[in-house]
């Protein structure tokens, strides 16, 4: 539901835990803001936590979201909350399931795989160590190589994030993300394996 052309725009896939606070929440807000400022579409899942904090700020700052759902379009409450963004052509909702399908863990994992396939790179902001949808999607992306995998590495680094870095995820740190000179597009251009980015 929305402008299907958004799915073909240059963008970043984002995932992570539903339970976030403090530095991780601030980093999600910052990331969503940067995507809007640099005209990079944000591909995410609309779940509580990482997804909704980043997506909400992205829209507030004038950006574009592609939200891939783990339930049916008629079940999800975000459609009503983002009516103006839908009508303005800045929000696209995608669901692979029947319009009244309920959320399931299988749907969520498959949805996460789709998200990680759609971005020029994939970024995991927060992952529980060894379990949860955010962890599983990042692990599977590292194995399959759908998109170059990044993990946020604040100080101190959460155990799940640290483990993904140990598994050869690339990382970006807290100081870089909150630097006034940080430019996401320039950062992405230096990523081996990422396709060329369209001009902003």
CATH number of the domain encompassing residue 179? 3.40.50.450
Backbone angles phi, psi at 21, to 5 degrees: -165, 170
In 3D space, the residue among 4, 137, 151 whose CA is nearest the CA of residue 64 turns out to be 4
Taking residues 162-176, report their average pLDDT.
88
Would you give the distance in Å from CA 57 to the centre of its chain?
12
- Give the dihedral sign, CA 109/114/117/121: negative
Give CA–CA dist 35/70, Å, rounded.
Answer: 23
Contact yes or no for 94/69 (Cβ under 8 A): yes
Q: Determine the structural domain holding residue 104 and report its residue range.
A: 4-189
CA dihedral 174, 180, 182, 183 (to 10 degrees): 140
Task: State the average pLDDT for the chain.
Answer: 86
Whether residue 196 lies inside any domain: the answer is no
In 3D space, the residue among 41, 40, 14, 39 whose CA is nearest the CA of residue 28 turns out to be 14
Backbone angles phi, psi at 100, to 5 degrees: -110, 20
- Report which DSSP code applies to 121: S
The predicted structure's pLDDT at residue 142 = 93
Which residues are CB-contacts of 13 (< 8 A; sequence separation ≥ 6)? Answer: 43, 44, 115, 116, 117, 118, 119, 121, 122, 123, 147
Whether residue 200 lies inside any domain: the answer is no
Model-level pTM?
0.88
Whether residue 148 lies inside any domain: the answer is yes
Whether residue 197 lies inside any domain: the answer is no
Encode pLDDT of 89-127 as tens digits.
Answer: 899 999 888 888 887 877 888 888 999 999 988 999 998
Give CA–CA dist 97/153, Å, rounded.
Answer: 34
Number of structural domains found in the chain: 1
The predicted structure's pLDDT at residue 146 = 92
Task: Tell me the three state secondary structure of residue 83.
Answer: helix
Whether residue 198 lies inside any domain: the answer is no
Encode pLDDT of 8-36 as tens digits.
Answer: 999 999 988 888 888 889 999 999 999 99
Give CA–CA dist 83/17, Å, rounded.
Answer: 25
């Amino acid at each position: 539901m929305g402008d299907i052309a958004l799915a073909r725009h240059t963008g970043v896939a984002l995932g992570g835990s539903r339970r976030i606070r403090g530095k991780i929440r601030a980093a999600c807000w910052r990331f969503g803001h940067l995507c809007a400022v640099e005209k990079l579409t944000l591909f995410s899942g609309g779940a509580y936590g990482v997804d909704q904090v980043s997506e909400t700020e992205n829209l507030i700052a004038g950006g574009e979201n592609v939200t891939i759902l783990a339930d049916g379009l008629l079940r999800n409450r975000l459609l009503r909350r983002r009516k103006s963004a839908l009508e303005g052509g800045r929000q696209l909702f995608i669901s692979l399931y029947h319009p009244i399908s309920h959320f399931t863990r299988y749907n969520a994992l498959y949805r996460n795989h789709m998200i990680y396939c759609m971005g020029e790179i994939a970024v995991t902001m927060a992952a529980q160590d060894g379990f949860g949808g955010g962890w599983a999607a990042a692990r599977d992306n590292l194995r399959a190589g759908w998109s170059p995998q990044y993990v946020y590495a604040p100080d101190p680094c959460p155990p799940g994030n640290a483990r993904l870095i140990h598994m050869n995820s690339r990382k970006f740190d807290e100081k870089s993300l909150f630097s006034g000179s940080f430019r996401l597009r320039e950062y992405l251009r230096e990523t081996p394996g990422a396709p060329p980015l369209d001009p902003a």
